[in-house]
Chains A and B, each alone.
Chain A
């Protein structure tokens, strides 16, 4: 039987389709190049090694958080507790990092485990208790903040061993937080592309019912995503504590929003199933470059907030328009 529609799809003019496809795939790269070019033209300080390393250092925290929350958004969920978990993990890590108490590795591990525990708690209540992720992680946002205040007595936990603060230093001229982000991103990218569980993360976000009918343990996949996200928030908390040399119970406020914004700018869908770590890194980078540029141009931080908001909405609006 002849199939008329097979190759006879109505084609729009080739050039505009090609441009559109290019924009769709590489829109954010193009945006990044454009912004970079404009900043390079506007200020001589932008395109210097020192400044670029500075940008990398500034985005490393948001990057680690964003990679973690990418997993959660891919399953169709959300995690609003990241900022509080960062503070709690920082306080706990700092508590284990007084000179002479424990090796620095223990402090790092405790911070990560703290984040993991928060993430696992989120995941368990969401999957077993069937409460909406928005609500559960909103609750965790408050609970983790409260725990951080309780654990620290409301005061910064100081007197940190130099072994831990070294985590915020450099190796071979590169900031260690940047190297951590690179390692985390590479591992996360490889995981999503090459493992069964990674594939299932996409399936659960794409169509939860179909994933279940294909024999996938949907709850396990979600629990994994929230736990991993929490663990990376814990890691980010440790890095932050090392950088500011204290465990600050009031640190990290609204960090989750920057992370989610970066992920979404990077093309990951809030409804799940679409996106990935590559886009997230570009989103983080774009936000970081714009922040840095506005700093260099001496734009007041008040205006920076407005610009950031417009970019978040604009990026998603453009993305939506291209897809339609």
Chain B
């Protein structure tokens, strides 16, 4: 089909450090079309968009612009080809004006000295804003604008580059309902001007309001592309989920039961520790909240229990567990450990109370890149290897060697630079650090993110083993099959609140997603 499409991406594949993010995905855009890209977290939506916007080169496949193959080596190149992206995290320059931001990088300027023609700058910015029919003073400083207004500025900026393809990553995630209406108005305007729009959102009603076409991705694979009129809510959710788990090692399997029929057969489904009868509550959270992040969260975790917490991106899962661990303290509610109320303002306090955590952001809150593997492992438990202030090197070496063996970390030795390890082994180093501190409660935030399949299976086995040892595990995961297979109970969060507590053996991915999706 040579005609009719502005942009075609054909058979795009992309892997990161051996982990496949996109496999053979195709996407074609017509002028004036709103094309919704749907899928769960980690389905490959963002990767596909970043390939189209020139941020990541594809490993294989081709991209055609007006039927001719092009190479998108950088965002600048994509922009020159008329492809612009509005990122979820906007990147304005706060102290420049609206006009200066819109025309950043191609300001009208005199040829001789590059002196900026301020009047032409205002005029051009005004023209672009008028095209969008928005009433926004071009002289106002960017930092005085709301998120929605900044988005409009970004769109005007894209128009200034004569963008014919506009990629929008969850543009309505952080703006109010009234602003959503205004944005949808702007999108309608763009569509009339023949701009093709790739639209990512988790909000189903928006999709059915504005999308002409829907492409569904799952685990990096292209599930299908459908005219929006052919799908309904239920059908779309089924397309987005509905995959088997690659490595089932969940409680049901530990009990020797297949995941599905356990409930139907009327059999109790619980980890071995709990089968012996209810154990003591290890961690108890009451009405916990932090303004702007999550509100009124209460739950208990028992010894030997795996509590899953799932939800979509931005539902407040990471913020919740970061508060329990003291990384960013809560400002309301109580935390009880083993029945006693505790104050946790600082990770050091959490560790003293026997709480350990592995953050979802391994680079930021996990690894110390300048330290070797061994020093990284003992960082949270160094006191145990010390005599007074002095490190007993022999003891430390023994602890590290045991940790490397226990978690099967592939490394040339404790002196190796931690940055040289693969993602999975880096994750094991961070896990080992938390475990060496001897926690009774361990919080794992997306413990399998960015690691390969084999390492995932090892992490699953480790989680099961920790529970069997009587430790309490709080497992945050956005991979539904993983959350369902591992958890004894599953909390679903949506927009900062816990909206459901489900029994993983009696629920389905569809049901979980129904709770997780914003209404």
Residues of A within 8 A of B (CB): 1, 3, 5-6, 194-197, 199-200, 202-203, 205-207, 209-217, 269, 272-274
Q: Count A/B pairs, Cβ under 8 Å.
A: 83
Q: Give CA–CA (A214, B355) in the complex, Å.
A: 11
Interface residues of B in 381-427 (CB under 8 A from A): 382-383, 386, 389-391, 393, 410, 422
Asked if A196 and B383 make an inter-chain contact with CB atoms under 8 angstroms apart, the answer reads: yes
Asked if A210 and B382 make an inter-chain contact with CB atoms under 8 angstroms apart, the answer reads: no
Asked if B23 lies at the interface with its beta carbon under 8 angstroms from chain A, I say no
Residues from chain B with Cβ under 8 Å of A5 in the complex: 422
Q: Give CA–CA (A181, B371) in the complex, Å.
A: 28
Asked if A273 and B380 make an inter-chain contact with CB atoms under 8 angstroms apart, the answer reads: no
Q: List 8 A-B contacts (CB under 8 A).
A: A195-B391, A196-B382, A196-B383, A196-B389, A209-B364, A210-B364, A210-B367, A215-B347
Given A196-B383, A213-B327, A217-B348; A207-B367 close (CB under 8 Å):
yes
Q: Give CA–CA (A267, B191) in the complex, Å.
A: 57
Nearest chain A CB to B413 CB, angstrom units: 13
Residues from chain B with Cβ under 8 Å of A209 in the complex: 364-365
Given A205-B370, A209-B365, A215-B437; A199-B382 close (CB under 8 Å):
yes
Q: Give CA–CA (A206, B351) in the complex, Å.
A: 21
Asked if B383 and A273 make an inter-chain contact with CB atoms under 8 angstroms apart, the answer reads: no
Asked if B366 and A213 make an inter-chain contact with CB atoms under 8 angstroms apart, the answer reads: yes
Given A1-B454, A214-B380; A202-B389 close (CB under 8 Å):
no
Residues from chain B with Cβ under 8 Å of A203 in the complex: 368, 371, 375, 379
Given A196-B383, A214-B379; A273-B391 close (CB under 8 Å):
no
Q: Give CA–CA (A118, B327) in the complex, Å.
A: 31
Question: Which of B348, B350, B370 has a CB less than 8 Å from the CB of A202?
Answer: B370
Asked if B269 lies at the interface with its beta carbon under 8 angstroms from chain A, I say no
Residues from chain A with Cβ under 8 Å of B390 in the complex: 194-196
Residues from chain A with Cβ under 8 Å of B45 in the complex: none
Residue of A nearest to B455 (CB): A1
Residue of B327, B350, B391 with most chain A CB atoms under a 10 A cut-off: B391
Given A212-B347, A216-B348, A216-B379; A206-B369 close (CB under 8 Å):
yes
Nearest chain A CB to B460 CB, angstrom units: 15
Q: Give CA–CA (A159, B279) in the complex, Å.
A: 78
Asked if B307 lies at the interface with its beta carbon under 8 angstroms from chain A, I say no
Given A3-B410, A196-B386; A213-B370 close (CB under 8 Å):
no
Residue of B nearest to A5 (CB): B422
Q: Give CA–CA (A193, B111) in the complex, Å.
A: 60
Asked if A274 and B437 make an inter-chain contact with CB atoms under 8 angstroms apart, the answer reads: no
Asked if B370 and A206 make an inter-chain contact with CB atoms under 8 angstroms apart, the answer reads: yes
Asked if B315 lies at the interface with its beta carbon under 8 angstroms from chain A, I say no
Q: Give CA–CA (A199, B351) in the complex, Å.
A: 19
Nearest chain A CB to B327 CB, angstrom units: 6
Residues from chain B with Cβ under 8 Å of A207 in the complex: 364, 367-370
B43-71 near A? 1/0 per residue, CB < 8 Å: 00000000000000000000000000000
